[in-house]
Structure 1
Amino acid sequence: MVQLGATGLVGSVSVVDLEKVGLDEAVLGWVGSNVKTEGRDLSGDDRRDDAVHPVIEEICSVGDAPFEDFHVKRVCAVRHLAVVEMDVVEEVAQIRDARNGQRHQNSGQVICVFTELSDEKDPKRASIFEYSWGSWLENDTVEKEKRRTEFSIKGLNDLLAQVVKPFEGTVLLPAAHNVSVLKDNVDLVKTGFSHIKQISSIHEGKHHRIYKLQLDHQQEELVLRVPYKLDSEVYTDRRIKSEAATMDFLAKKLGLNVPKVLAYSGVAENPVGTPFMLMEFKKGELLMRKWNPLIPGAVNEEKSKAELMSVISPIAEFNKKATDITFTHYGSLYFKEDGYEHIVDEPYVGETDESLKNRWVIGPTVEKAYYRNKDVEVAEIDKFVGPWTVEQPLRMVADLAQLELENVQKQGHDQAVPVYRKLGQVAEKLFDVESKTIPHMDALLAPRLALPDLDPMNVIVGDETWFIDFEGACIKPFLLSSYPKFVQYSGPKIFDLEADVEGYDKLDDVAKQQYEYMFCRTRNQFYWELALNETNKELLGVISPAVKLIKSAYLSALDAKTDKDYLYVENGLVELYTMWPHYESAAIVKGPNPLTFSEQELQAYETAFQDYQTELSSMPFAATGGWVPQDMFARLLEQKLLVEKNGSYTFDRDKLLQ
Structure 2
Amino acid sequence: MALDRGWLNIAKRHYLRLLHTSEGSRAMPSHRQIDTNPLFYYTSGRWLWNEREQLEARYRRFDVPSLQQAACQAIGANKCMSFKKIGEGNYNKAYRLEMEDGQKIIAKVPHPNAGPQVHTTASEVATMEFARTVLNLPVPRVLAWSATDQNPVRAEYIMMEEASGSQLHEVWQDLPLRRKCDIIREFVDVERKLLSVSFENGVAGCEPAIVTSGPQEVIDHIESTYCIGPITRREFWEKQRSEMQFHGPWTSSAEYLKSVARREIKWINNHANPQEPSKTPWQYTNPQQKSPEAHTALLEKFLTAIPYITAKDPELVSPRLWHPDFHAGNVYIDAQGRISCIIDWQGAWATPVFIGANPPLLLDYGIDMLMKLPENFKALDDTTKDKLKYQVSQSILIHTYEETTVEKNPLMYKVMHHPHGQTLKQLEAFVGSTWDNCLFPFEECLIRVESEWRHFGTNEPCPYHFSAEEIRQHDEEAGTFNKSQELWKELQGVLTDEGYASNESFSKAVEILGDLREVGLSGLEGEDRRSFDKETRWVLDLRSH
Is residue 418 from structure 1 mapped to residue 279 from structure 2 by the alignment? Answer: no
Cα 1:539–1:35, aligned 2, differ >3 Å: closer, same or farther? farther
Match of 1:602 in 2: 471
Distance 1:498 1:130, change over 3 A: same
In structure 2, the CA distance between the partners of 1:398 and 1:325, relative to structure 1 (3 Å rule), is same
**Residues 1:130 and 2:41 aligned together:** yes
Q: Out of 321, 324, 329, which is 2:201 matched to? A: 329
Aligned to 2:109: 226
- How far the C-alpha of 1:210 sits from its partner, in A, is 1.0
Q: 1:553 to 1:505 in 2, by over 3 A?
A: farther
Query: Does residue 424 of structure 2 align to residue 551 of structure 1?
Result: yes
Say which SS state the counterpart of residue 539 (structure 2) adopts. Answer: strand
Say if 2:332 and 2:340, in contact at 8 Å, map to a contact too. yes
Query: One-letter code of the match for 1:221?
Result: K
The answer to whether the Cα contact below 8 Å between 2:253 and 2:310 also exists between their aligned partners in 1 is no
| Residue pair 2:164, 2:340 contacting (<8 A) in 1 also | no
Q: For residue 422 of structure 1, what is the amino acid of its counterpart?
A: K
Whether contact under 8 Å (2:209, 2:223) holds in the other structure is: no
Among residues 165, 172, 175, which one is paired with 1:291 in the alignment?
172
Larger helix share, 1 or 2: 2
Q: Deviations over 1:376-435 (max 9, x none)?
A: 352x2x3x332233xx232211211221222233314423222222222212321351xx
Name the counterpart of 1:632.
505
> 1 CA distance for matches of 2:8 and 2:451?
27
Q: CA RMSD in A?
A: 4.2
**Alpha-carbon contact 1:498-1:505 (below 8 Å) kept:** no
Which residue pairs with 1:154 in the alignment? Answer: 65
Aligned equivalents of 1:516, 1:545: Cα separation in 2: 30
d(CA) in 1 for partners of 2:5, 2:417: 31
Aligned-residue offset at 1:460: 1.7
Match of 2:92 among 200, 203, 208: 208
Q: Is the 8 A contact 1:452 1:484 kept in 2?
A: no
Partners of 1:626 and 1:547 in 2: CA distance:
33
Q: Which one of 206, 210, 217 corresponds to residue 352 of structure 1?
A: 217
Q: Which residue of 2 aligns with 1:573?
A: 446
Q: Does residue 349 of structure 2 align to residue 466 of structure 1?
A: no
- How far apart are the structure 2 equivalents of 1:457 and 1:615? 28
C-alpha contact (below 8 Å) 1:444/1:478 kept by paired residues: yes
Q: Which amino acid aligns with 2:446?
A: L
Query: Could you tell me whether the CA contact under 8 Å between 2:317 and 2:354 is conserved in 1?
Result: yes
Report which stretch shifted further, 629-638 or 264-273. Answer: 629-638
Question: Aligned residue for 2:247?
Answer: 385
Match of 1:477 among 337, 348, 352: 352
Decide whether the 8 Å contact of 2:236 with 2:247 is kept in 1. Answer: yes
The letter for the 1-side match of 2:427 is: Y
Is 1:404 matched with 2:276? no
Q: Aligned match of 2:230 in 364, 370, 376?
A: 364
Q: Which amino acid aligns with 1:480?
A: I
After TM superposition, the structure 1 stretch with the greater mean CA deviation from structure 2, 603-612 or 347-356, is 347-356
Change (3 A) 1:236 1:326: same
1:448 alignment partner, one of 307, 313, 320: 320
Note if 1:143 corresponds to 2:54.
Answer: yes
SS of the aligned residue for 2:505 comes to helix
Alpha-carbon contact 1:209-1:225 (below 8 Å) kept: yes
2:143 paired residue number: 262
1:189 to 2:78 alignment: no
Structure 2: tracts of 5 or more residues without a match: 11-34, 274-289, 518-533
Change (3 A) 1:509 1:216: closer
Q: Is the 8 Å Cα contact of residues 208 and 223 (structure 2) preserved in structure 1?
A: no
CA deviations 1:224-269 (Å, max 9, x no partner) are 112222255xx24322211111111111222221111122233433
SS, match of residue 122 in structure 2: helix
For residues 490-509 of structure 1, what are the structure 2 equivalents within 5 Å?
491=366, 494-496=368-370
Secondary structure of 2:240's aligned partner:
coil
Structure 1 residue 221: Cα displacement: 1.2
Query: 631-640 or 147-156: which moved more?
Result: 631-640
Mapped pair 1:317 → 2:189: yes
Counterpart among 240, 248, 255 of residue 375 in structure 1: 240
1:120-149 Cα distance to aligned partner (Å, 9 max, x none): xxx9x9223222211111133432232233
Rounded to whole Å, the distance in 2 between the matches of 1:496 and 1:647 is 46
1:48 aligned residue: none
Q: Structure 1 unaligned runs (5+)?
A: 1-24, 37-122, 165-187, 296-302, 334-339, 434-440
TM-score normalized by structure 2? 0.74
Contact kept in structure 2, 1:429 and 1:590, CA below 8 Å:
no
